[in-house]
């Protein structure tokens, strides 16, 4: 079953973006705010071109990383989960996203990851009715357990995958739908992914793993010809989207929106 989306939530980058957290796993440098705004606006336009109704939130200067709205919540057809970042500078984002989530979900369908559980949405990858949850520096075993307790009530299943290479699960594996996955060479060996058609992305293009299927069209970050070719050869229509400014602080395509 392929996920189809009608809506997205995004948040404009704030000037404090330059202070966003970074592991420099994808490169060095400080984002240029004006250029980040342009890239973000183009990203939103692409979502709209693909038919999504986009709720665009204003930048929030209190939270440098708040444009990465994928992390403070996980949204599904049946429920929404407000996550719990272990990063002090990001944890408050959960309260800000909640107001918007409440516009689309009843309180009875909104759940919360609570201390000592931690989680960020970048670690959650949905494949049909199953969620793979990365255990990472941001998502711990207790967070994954609480998540499992929530989603199983709605008929979903979940399982955990270790994230050993960097920030989030979806930086190293992405589900393109139709049984196809882009993977790092480490994720290629992950036992729970063996049943999928895996396409290993070269180490110099790792950043492009985080491509994003929106209703059949795959958004691919600009500048990764080998990964682009893999995706085109699979027959997906593609849209190339510039995300360089976000890449400097470990941000990629999926993290800039919540899709449902
Ligand atoms: C952070 O370290 O939290 C941000 N600078 C980047 C978050 C990227 N989020 C994502 O991939 N889901």
DSSP readout, 113-164?
Answer: --TT--B-GGGEEEETTEEEEEESSSS-HHHHHHHHHHHHTTT-EEEEEE--
Predicted pLDDT at 28 = 81
Catalytic annotation present for 255: yes
Ligand 1 environment, Cβ below 6 A: 20-22, 65, 68, 70-71, 90, 122, 168, 249-252, 255
The protein residue with its alpha carbon nearest to ligand 1, atom 9, reads: 255
Predicted pLDDT at 154 = 98
**In sequence order, what are the beta bridge partners of 82?**
73, 112
Q: The tokens of 33 are what?
A: 């705010």
Predicted pLDDT at 248 = 96
Checking if the pLDDT of 173 tops 90, the result is: yes
- Mean pLDDT on 196-205: 98
Checking if the pLDDT of 2 tops 90, the result is: no
Query: How confident is residue 67, by pLDDT bands cut at 50, 70 and 90?
Result: very high
The protein residue with its alpha carbon nearest to ligand 1, atom 8, reads: 251
Atom of ligand 1 nearest to the CA of 20: 5
Query: How confident is residue 234, by pLDDT bands cut at 50, 70 and 90?
Result: very high
**In sequence order, what are the beta bridge partners of 259?**
8
Any idea what DSSP says for residue 44?
A: H
CA–centroid distance for 120 within its chain: 9
Question: Which positions ≥6 away from 180 have C-beta within 8 Å?
Answer: 196, 197, 199, 234
- For residue 256, how far is its CA from the centre of ligand 1 (angstroms)? 9
Catalytic annotation present for 79: no
What gap in Å lies between CA 66 and CA 145, rounded to an integer?
25
Task: Write down the mean pLDDT value for the chain.
Answer: 97
Share of the chain above pLDDT 90, in %: 97
Closest by CA to 210, choosing from 259, 243, 162, is 243
- Where would I find the beta strands (DSSP E) of 147-216? 157-162, 173-177, 180-183, 197-200, 212-214
Atom of ligand 1 nearest to the CA of 122: 12
Q: Which residue has the higher pLDDT, 9 or 3?
A: 9
Predicted pLDDT at 245 = 97
The protein residue with its alpha carbon nearest to ligand 1, atom 7, reads: 251
Query: How confident is residue 36, by pLDDT bands cut at 50, 70 and 90?
Result: very high
Query: How confident is residue 25, by pLDDT bands cut at 50, 70 and 90?
Result: confident
pTM given for the model: 0.97
What gap in Å lies between CA 28 and CA 248, rounded to an integer?
6
Checking if the pLDDT of 71 tops 80, the result is: yes
Closest by CA to 197, choosing from 216, 181, 176, is 181
**Three-state SS for 218?**
strand
């Amino acid at each position: 079953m392929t996920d189809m989306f009608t809506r997205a939530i995004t948040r404009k980058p704030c000037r404090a973006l330059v202070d966003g957290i970074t592991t420099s796993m994808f490169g060095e440098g400080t984002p240029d705010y004006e250029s980040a705004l342009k890239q973000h606006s183009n990203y939103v336009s692409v979502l709209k071109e693909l038919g999504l109704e986009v709720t665009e939130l204003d930048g929030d200067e209190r939270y440098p990383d708040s444009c990465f709205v994928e992390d403070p919540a996980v949204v599904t057809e049946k429920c929404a989960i407000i996550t719990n970042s272990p990063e002090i500078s990001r944890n408050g984002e959960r309260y800000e996203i909640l107001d918007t989530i409440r516009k689309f979900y009843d309180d009875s369908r909104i759940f919360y990851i609570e201390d000592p559980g931690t989680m960020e949405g970048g670690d959650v990858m949905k494949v049909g009715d199953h969620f793979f949850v990365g255990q990472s520096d941001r998502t711990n075993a207790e967070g994954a357990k609480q998540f499992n307790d929530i989603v199983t009530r709605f008929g979903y299943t979940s399982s955990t995958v270790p994230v050993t290479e960097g920030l989030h699960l979806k930086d190293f594996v992405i589900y393109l739908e139709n049984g196809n996955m882009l993977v790092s060479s480490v994720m290629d060996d992950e036992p729970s992914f063996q049943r999928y058609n895996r396409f290993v992305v070269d180490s110099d293009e790792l950043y492009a793993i985080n491509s994003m299927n929106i209703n059949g069209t795959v958004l691919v970050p600009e500048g990764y010809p080998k990964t682009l070719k893999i995706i085109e050869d699979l027959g997906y229509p593609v849209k190339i989207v510039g995300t360089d400014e976000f890449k400097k602080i470990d941000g990629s395509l999926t993290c800039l929106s919540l899709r449902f």
